[in-house]
A and B are shown apart, each in its own frame.
Chain A
Amino acid sequence: MLKVVGGFIAGACFFGVLVYNFMGSMMFREVQSPFGVEETVARIQQNIQNTGNGWALSGLRNPGKAVEADGGNTLPVLLIEACSTKYSGPILKDDSVRFLSNLMPCKISVYKKNDGKTYIGMMNAGFMGGMFGSMVGETMSHVAADQAKFIQFDPSKPAPAMIKGTPGAGASGGSGAGAAGGC
Chain B
Amino acid sequence: MSSRFRMTLPVLTTGMVLTTLTAFAMPAKQDAAIAPQAVQQTASTSKSKDASTADHSKFKELQKNFKTGPEVTQACLICHTEAAKQVQHTKHWTWESVDPKTGQKRGKKNIINNYCTSPISNEKDCMACHAGYGWKDSSFDFSVEKNVDCLVCHDTTGTYRKLPGDAGRPVYKRVEFPKGSGKFVEPADLKKVAQSIGRPSRSNCGSCHFFGAGANGAKHGDLDSSLQHPGKYLDVHMDEKGLNFTCVTCHATSSHQISGSRYNVAAAVSGPAHIRGKTDESPASCQSCHGDKPHHGFMAILNQHTEKVACQTCHIPEYARDDIGTELSWDWSQATTMGPDGNPISRKDSAGRRAFDSKKGAWVWDSYVIPEYRWFNGVSTYKVIGDKIDPSKTVQINEVGGSPNDPGSRIWPTKVHRGKQPYDKVNSILTVQHTAGEDETALWHNYDWQKAIGAGMKAAGLKYSGEYGFVNTEMTWPITHMVAPEEDALSCAQCHSKNGRLKGIEGVYMPSRDSNRLLDMAGWTLVLLSLIGIMIHGGLRIYTSKKKGQNK
**What residues make up the interface of A, taking CB atoms closer than 8 Å to B?**
36-39, 41-43, 67-73, 75-76, 112, 114-116, 158-162
Contacts and interface: CB of A to CB of B under 8 A. Distances in A.
A38 B350 contact: yes
Given A69-B231, A72-B233, A114-B370, A158 B347 contact: yes
Given A67-B233, A161-B348, 19 more contacts: A36-B350, A36-B365, A37-B367, A38-B350, A39-B349, A39-B350, A39-B351, A68-B234, A71-B231, A71-B239, A72-B487, A112-B368, A114-B494, A114-B501, A115-B499, A116-B370, A159-B350, A161-B352, A162-B351
B8 to A, nearest CB: 46
B169 interface: no
B488 A72 contact: yes
B368 A159 contact: no
Interface string B352-381: 100100000000011111100000000000
Contacts, number: 58
Interface size class of B (residues with CB under 8 A): 20 to 34
Contacts of B366: 36
Interface in B485-513: 485, 487-488, 494, 499, 501
A76 B367 contact: yes
Contacts of A42: 350
B217 interface: no
A42 B533 CA distance: 62
A68 B235 CA distance: 11
A73 B350 contact: no
Interface in B367-419: 367-370
A160 B351 CA distance: 9
Contacts of B347: 158
Nearest to B239: A71
B350 A75 contact: no
30 contacts: A36-B350, A36-B366, A37-B367, A38-B350, A38-B351, A41-B350, A42-B350, A43-B350, A68-B234, A71-B232, A71-B239, A71-B485, A72-B233, A72-B487, A72-B488, A73-B233, A73-B317, A73-B318, A73-B321, A75-B318, A76-B368, A114-B370, A114-B494, A115-B499, A116-B370, A160-B350, A161-B348, A161-B350, A162-B350, A162-B351
B131 interface: no
A112 B367 CA distance: 10
Q: Which 3 A-B pairs have the closest CB atoms?
A: A42-B350, A71-B232, A38-B351
A70 B485 CA distance: 11
A159 B367 CA distance: 17
B429 interface: no
A43 B369 CA distance: 21
B371 to A, nearest CB: 10
Given A36-B366, A112-B368, A73 B348 contact: no
B311 interface: no
B129 interface: no
Contacts of B355: 159
Nearest to B491: A114
Nearest to B493: A114
Contacts of A36: 350, 365-366
Contacts of A160: 350
